[in-house]
Every structure is written in structure tokens, then in C-alpha cells.
Amino acid sequence: MKTIMNFSMTEKQKMIQRITREFSEEFIVPIAEESDKNSQLDIKILNLMKKMNFFGLCIPKEFGGAGLHDDTVSFCIIVEEIAKIDASYALTPGVHCSVVARPIYIYGTEEQRRKFLIPLVKGDKIGAFALTEANAGSDVASIETNAVIDGDEWVLNGNKIFITNGGIAKTIIVLAKTGEKGKRKFHTLFIVDADTPGFSVGVKEDKLGVRASNTTELVFQDMRIPHENILGEVGNGLKIALEILNFGRIIVAAQCVGLGQGAMESAIKYANEREQFGSNIGRFQGIQWRIADMGCAVESARLLTQKAAHMCDNNMDYSLMASMAKLVASEVAMKVAHDAVQIHGGYGLMKAYPVERYFRDAKMAEIYEGTSEIQRMVIAKQLLKKFV
Ligand SMILES: Cc1cc2nc3c(=O)[nH]c(=O)nc-3n(C[C@H](O)[C@H](O)[C@H](O)COP(=O)(O)OP(=O)(O)OC[C@H]3O[C@@H](n4cnc5c(N)ncnc54)[C@H](O)[C@@H]3O)c2cc1C
């Protein structure tokens, strides 16, 4: 009997995986530790990533992209392979492509696509997506950044915090409040060019993990934004922002699968080498059970992630699956990184082994693009509606 589910990678996907793996091992492995120590992305790697078209992954070839706009599964494979070595280097193009370039391609006008997409795809301009504020994190609707219309321009004022790529971005999608009626607030998304007067980069965060990834505050002071830079329509910014996050969650999940896989492989290698009581520690059942659990967890997270990607590519409603994938994969990454450190014993706390970095990097994913608590809320809400 023929089955209708296909868990195999296509030849093209296998090639994409092999090329990204070779790239990551050759170029990212040697600088990962230094980038983490200096809290700085290596410009040489970003330039190489440009050549690999990693900044145009989910954009059609007609705009110079890699043409994976309908192949999110391959996008995930690429992100996974980079994150297996270093989550910061996966996060940079991951955010740029999934929550900046893609939304401009999907929701942008022809003029916005022509103006903003091509430099983004080439990696000549890096993108950032700015929602979070000091008093508005999970509760995005309570943002205070606001834009007021003045002729055919909008005047933007406010502060955003914790913005990935903030200090290196030249094209930023910003959510602002553009009106209020009683208790109801209206929000709009703006495409902001960082060269516009009134823009500045504030504090660069000194983080626990994903230290090389650039995370900053952004300040908008009386910035004049042309009306044609509105992404979508006036008043529907929050709705689009949430749709953007839905897709972004699949890519965060792929990062977590990669990180989990990397941590697990490091632990297995160590368990095969480290000797105690006259034998490799991998021969002890206590270690074996941990490794078995790691393998099951990473594979489960990968399946959920690829299912969400597959649903997206087939125009199915993937929001529930994206939240499930993000929730499970981020918690798997954290648990597997924890177990990988445990298998390394004291050496797991030392910079000489990458599991120390994996452990710190894993924490990020349980928080950004919607915390685990928010994912559980989203999932429960949908399930409660589904089975009335
Ligand atoms: C490394 C990093 C990169 C980031 N990148 C970006 C970016 O590029 N763009 C951007 O806009 N933001 C970014 N963020 C911000 C991130 O999205 C927020 O930190 C996140 O949404 C949580 O908001 P908060 O930090 O204000 O926490 P809060 O919302 O204050 O939450 C605090 C705690 O309360 C819990 N909580 C809140 N509400 C509820 C509830 N209703 N029920 C149960 N528990 C609840 C939360 O889950 C959390 O545990 C980034 C954050 C980090 C750490």
C-alpha cells in the first residue's frame, strides 16, 4: 500500500543540507567561540553569508532571492545546520529573512518590494523587526511608540528594546500606535529606513546567550516616515505583526532543533571519549538513557518543525503547529543543552567545550518571539475552540 506521508528529503534538500553543513563547519566553527566572547558577529562570515544568499532565503529568484518562498522546509534545514554550530549566526539571517524580508515580499506594495527587498536580499542592508518596548513585551498591544499623520508623512516617536540586529539594521519594520477609540487601540506597521533623521541606536545588550547576535534598543524621535512606507494598511499592523510572528516561530523552532542536535552530538562524542572507572562513560546506562532521551526529543522537535513548515508551504493554517513547534523545540533545546553539560561533568562549564555556549544560547528561544507561557496560551486557546 502506498503511503501519503513522505518523511524523506528531496535530492535538492539533501544538497542544501550538505552545502550549509560544509559552510558552517568550515567557516563558523573556527570563530564561534571568539564571536561569543567578543559579543560580535564576524563581518567576514556575514559577507560569506551574503554570497551564499542566506539573506534572501525565502524570497523568489526574480528579486534576487534563493527562491525558497514556497519551500520553508529547506529554509528550516539551512537554519538548523547553522544553529547546530552557532545559534547567533543562525539568528541573524533567520530574523532578517523571516520577519523582515518575507513580510515586505508578502504584504508590501510593488514599490516597497522594489525599494526595500533587493538590498535586503543582497544583504547590503540588514533587517530588524521591532515590537518590544520596556512596558510592552508579551502584551504587544500595549505599546506606546506612536505615529501621528502630518500631511503625507507620519511622525514617529518612541523606544523599542531587545531588538535583534538592531545595531546593524538599515531596514526596520516598526509597530506603532496610530489611533485610539475608547479602549480600542489601532496599530500600524512602518518600514523605517535607519538613515532617516531622528533614528538612533540605544543600548547594546550584554546578554547571557546568543551573545554574538546584535541586540539593541532603538530610538525614534520625531522621525518623518512617508505614507508609502506603511506595510499593509493603517490600523491593521497588529494583525499582520502576529501573522509575521507565526511564520517566525517556525524558524525559531528550526534554530532550536539545530542547537539541540549540536549539543547532543557534542555530548555523544564526549561520552565516547571520556573514560572513568576504566571504561568510556558512554558504556554506563545512566549516560545511555540520557542520550536516548536527547535523541527522541530532538527528533520529535524536528518533526513538529517540519510539519509546521510543510503546512505553511501547502497553504494550510499552520499557526497552531508553529506555536507547538516553537514551544516544544525551545524546551527541547534547553533540556538537551542541560543534559549535554551534565554528560561533560565539570568540563561542561568550561569554555573549552561548546556545550557551555549551547547551554547559555538555548535559554533565548524560550523567551523571544513569544515566551513559552504565551505559546501555551495560544495553543490552549486554539485547542479549546477546536474541540467544543
Ligand atoms: C535575545 C532576545 C532577542 C529579542 N529580539 C526581539 C526582536 O527582534 N524584536 C522584538 O520586538 N522583540 C525582541 N525580543 C523581545 C522578546 O520578544 C520579549 O522579551 C518577549 O516577548 C517577552 O517580553 P518581556 O521580556 O517584556 O517579558 P514579559 O512579557 O514581561 O513577561 C515576563 C514573564 O511573565 C510571563 N507572562 C506574561 N504574560 C503572561 C500571561 N498572560 N500568562 C502567563 N504568563 C505570562 C512571561 O511568559 C514571562 O515569563 C527579544 C528578546 C530577547 C531576549
If DSSP states are collapsed to H, E and C, what string results for 58-96? CCCHHHCCCCCCCCHHHHHHHHHHHHCCCHHHHHHHHHH
| pLDDT per position as a tens digit, 199-217 | 999 999 999 999 999 999 9
Q: How far apart are the C-alpha atoms of 221 and 251, rounded to whole Å?
A: 32
- Helices 87-96 and 29-38 cross at an angle (nearest 10°) of 80
CA-based nearest residue to 190, from 154, 243, 159, 144: 154
**Considering only CA atoms, which residue is closest to atom 6 of ligand 1?**
163
> Which of ligand 1's atoms lies nearest the C-alpha of 134?
26
From 162, 175, 252, 361, the mutation candidate for ligand 1 (largest count of ligand atoms within 8 A of CB) is: 162
Question: According to the model, what pLDDT value does residue 1 have?
Answer: 56
Assign 2 a pLDDT band (cuts: 50, 70, 90). low
Question: According to the model, what pLDDT value does residue 4 have?
Answer: 72
Q: How far apart are the C-alpha atoms of 6 and 84, rounded to whole Å?
A: 24
| pLDDT per position as a tens digit, 12-53 | 999 999 999 999 999 999 999 999 999 999 999 999 999 999
Would you say residue 3 has pLDDT above 90?
A: no
**Considering only CA atoms, which residue is closest to atom 48 of ligand 1?**
371
Q: How far apart are the C-alpha atoms of 81 and 150, rounded to whole Å?
A: 47
User: From the CB of residue 373, how many other CB atoms can be counted at a distance below 10 Å?
Assistant: 12
CA-based nearest residue to 215, from 48, 95, 358: 95
| pLDDT per position as a tens digit, 51-99 | 999 999 999 999 999 999 999 999 999 999 999 999 999 999 999 999 9
Residues with CB under 6 A from ligand 1: 95, 129-132, 137-138, 162-164, 210, 215, 364, 367-369, 371, 373-374, 377
Question: Contact, 327 vs 6, CB < 8 A?
Answer: no
Instruction: Give the cell for residue 210.
Output: 546568543
Question: According to the model, what pLDDT value does residue 388 have?
Answer: 85
Task: Please tell me the distance between residue 188's alpha carbon and the centre of ligand 1 in angstroms.
Answer: 20
| pLDDT per position as a tens digit, 270-290 | 999 999 999 999 999 999 999
CA-based nearest residue to 371, from 326, 335, 338: 326
Task: Please tell me the distance between residue 160's alpha carbon and the centre of ligand 1 in angstroms.
Answer: 13
In 3-state terms, what secondary structure has residue 213? coil
Q: What is the DSSP string of 11-67?
A: HHHHHHHHHHHHHIIIIIHHHHHHHHHHT---HHHHHHHHHTTTTSTTS-GGGTS-S
Assign 183 a pLDDT band (cuts: 50, 70, 90). confident
CA-based nearest residue to 166, from 122, 205, 208, 114: 205
The domain spans of the chain are: 11-125, 128-238, 241-386
Question: According to the model, what pLDDT value does residue 5 have?
Answer: 79
Task: Report the topology of domain 11-125.
Answer: Butyryl-Coa Dehydrogenase, subunit A; domain 1 (1.10.540)
Question: Contact, 254 vs 75, CB < 8 A?
Answer: yes
User: From the CB of residue 48, how many other CB atoms can be counted at a distance below 10 Å?
Assistant: 15
> Which of ligand 1's atoms lies nearest the C-alpha of 131?
11
**H or E stretch at 203:** strand 199-204
Bridge-partner residues for 126, per DSSP? 169
Question: Contact, 229 vs 270, CB < 8 A?
Answer: no
Q: What is the DSSP string of 252-295?
A: HHHHHHHHHHHHHHHHHHHHHH-EETTEEGGGSHHHHHHHHHHH
Give me the architecture of the 128-238 domain, per CATH: Beta Barrel (2.40)
CA-based nearest residue to 257, from 77, 135, 97, 127: 77
> Which of ligand 1's atoms lies nearest the C-alpha of 95?
8
Q: What is the DSSP string of 160-202?
A: EEEEETTTTEEEEEEEEEEEEETTEEEEEEEEEETTSTTEEEE
Question: According to the model, what pLDDT value does residue 289 have?
Answer: 98
**Domain 241-386: CATH superfamily, name plus number:** Butyryl-CoA Dehydrogenase, subunit A, domain 3 (1.20.140.10)
